[in-house]
Structures are given as structure tokens and as C-alpha cells.
Amino acid sequence: MYYSRLQVICDPDFSEILMAEIGEVGFDSFLETENGFEAYVELENYDKRLLQAIKDKYIQQTPVVFYQDRIQKQNWNEEWEKNYQPIIVDDKCLIRADFHKIEKEYPYELIITPKMSFGTGHHQTTYLMVKNQMEIIHQDKRVMDAGCGTAILAVMASKLGAGEVEAFDIDEWSVSNGKENIDVNGCVNIHHQQGKLSELNFAGKFDIILANINKNVLLDEIKLYKEYLTPGGLVLLSGFYAEDIPDLLQEAGLFNLKEVKRDDRENWAALLLRYEA
């Protein structure tokens, strides 16, 4: 049996939404790559017109390349597992999928098996978030994970001793995948739901807010983070480039969010801010 393979080269910020839209036209298996992802479907068993419409739509917003060919059927899960390697953050935290067998022990171990959700530690921004989380006191703190994807940051917060964690994402697949990762890590103190911050209502304030999204969403939501933070509370941001830091600091300054620390990895950046009420 032959399959149609669609190779997509795109900006990481658009990878997840493109996967979702391409899934709607018939493609049912996905494999993340260094430059984007591959999608598979039984030969010709998809809507070519709708696929072209997706390409036309996004090429107006971001550089994106679609390349199609025909390949023989193979075990996609086996191929994915071969290419999906464990990640070690600062020699303190092991991030692995449930099928990885690891002998060495680390202070923290996160079992994260992504499906169509963002956040594995392979992307620089997730690595930066986990690295900087380990430097923040979470013990008994109330934590928000905004746009949680695989829920990796919520799980990390729970492992670091957070008293309560609220995690949410607008994407249905992310919510389903995040719930599986929360359960497999045994994190009973995480409340997880679908939605966006502007439409959800949380009682009380948070000591720590985690947001690994993208620059535009962060700029739009910074004012909401401030509303939910306790005085002296921390917000850890990533999902943007180092050159975006001045824009984010300018917006954050309008709401008394002051820089504590910045970090970067291969031109991606993270910012730790404190709410000075």
C-alpha cells in the first residue's frame, strides 16, 4: 500500500496550527522534523482543493513550503520513536517519552509523550522554560500554566512542589494530550481545561505564571498576567526571539512587571519578571 507524504517546512510558531488544519483535510499521521513536520495519508485519500487553500492562506502570513511525494506504508510510530530522543536539562531534569528506557537517575524526571501538542524540551523555548523553572521556588505556590500544550511546564511545577497548578490551552488536542501526560506523571494537583485566559475565570491570585506562547500573544496577555499575580509574584515568559525582548519589557513595564532575569538559547529567549505592586 502506498501513502501520500506531505513535507511541511515552516516557522515553529505555525507548526501546530498547520498540523491541525491539515488533519482536517484527511491526513492522519504526523511526524515532527527539524524544520517543521511530515503528514501522511493513504494515497489520494484527502481533499486536494482544501489542502491548496491551506497553503494559500498561510503563505500570506509566513514562509511555508509544501512538498509531496509517494511512499510505501511503514510503521509511523516506530519511525517517530526512533527519532524522538530524551532531553536532559542542565543535568538535573530528564524529559522522556514513556517508551524510553533510562538507567541513570536525575533529580527530576518528566514523562512527556507528545501527539499534536507543543512542548517536549526539544524546542529551545521549552528547554529555557524548564531550565529557569528549576531556579524558582515553587514549594506550596499557586501556579498558572498559560497555553500549556503538552502540560510539560505544569508537570514540572508539580514536581517542584507547587501546591496548586491551573493549566489550560485553546487547542482540543493539546488538552487531551496534556491530560494524558499529567496522569502518567501522577500529578494530582493540576487542574487542566480548554480555553483562553481572556475567557476563563480563576478565583484568587497566582504566585507564578508560566507562558511559553509567542510574542504577539504575550504582548496581548501581559496585562492579564498582572491582574492574576500576587504582589511580588513572578511571570516566566518564552516563545520569542532575543531581539523581541525590548518590546516585551516595554509592554511589561506598563503594568509594573520588572525584569529579574533573561536567558537565551540559539537566539530564542526567556524572561523572568516580578510584579512590583
In a domain, 116, yes or no: no
Q: What 8-state DSSP symbol labels residue 228?
A: H
Q: Which residue, 23, 57, 80, sits at the end of a domain?
A: 80
Assign residue 26 the CATH number of its domain: 3.30.70.120
Q: In the prediction, which pLDDT does 85 show?
A: 81
Instruction: Give Cα 167 to chain centroid, integer Å.
Output: 12
pLDDT of residue 153: 97
Per-residue confidence (pLDDT) for residue 72, from 0 to 100: 78
**The pLDDT value given to residue 71:** 84
Any domain includes 195: yes
Instruction: Please give the pLDDT value at position 140.
Output: 98
C-alpha cell at 195: 480555553
Mean pLDDT by runs of 10 across the 277 residues of the chain is 88 86 83 84 87 93 92 62 79 89 89 67 86 98 94 97 96 84 96 94 96 90 97 95 95 97 93 96
In the three-class reduction of DSSP (H, G, I as helix; E, B as strand; rest coil), residue 173 is classed as: helix
Domain count across the chain: 2
In the chain the beta strands, taken as DSSP E runs, fall at 2-10, 29-33, 36-42, 64-72, 87-89, 93-96, 108-111, 142-146, 164-169, 190-194, 206-212, 229-241, 257-265, 268-275
> Is residue 268, in this structure, part of any structural domain at all?
yes
Q: What is the CATH number of the domain that holds 257?
A: 3.40.50.150
Distance CA 22, CA 47 (A): 10
For residue 66, list its beta bridge partners: 8
Q: Does residue 268 sit in the same domain as residue 181?
A: yes
Residue appearing with cell numbers 524540551 = 121
Q: Which of residues 80, 97, 131 is at a domain's end?
A: 80
Asked whether residue 88 is domain-assigned, the answer is no
Quote the pLDDT of residue 29: 75
Residue 261, all three cell numbers: 532575569
14 lies in the same domain as 129? no
Same domain, 180 and 260: yes
CA atoms within 13 A on the CB side of 179: 8
Q: Which of 267, 237, 269, 233 has the alpha carbon at shortest distance from 251?
A: 237
Q: What is the pLDDT of residue 101?
A: 80
Are 68 and 131 contained in the same domain?
A: no
Among 204, 143, 137, which residue's Cα sits nearest to residue 168? Answer: 143
Q: Which of 49, 80, 111 is the last residue of a domain?
A: 80
The pLDDT assigned to 211 comes to 97
Q: Does 70 lie in the same domain as 139?
A: no
Considering the domain architecture, whether residues 134 and 260 belong to the same structural domain is answered as yes
Q: Domain span at residue 202?
A: 123-275
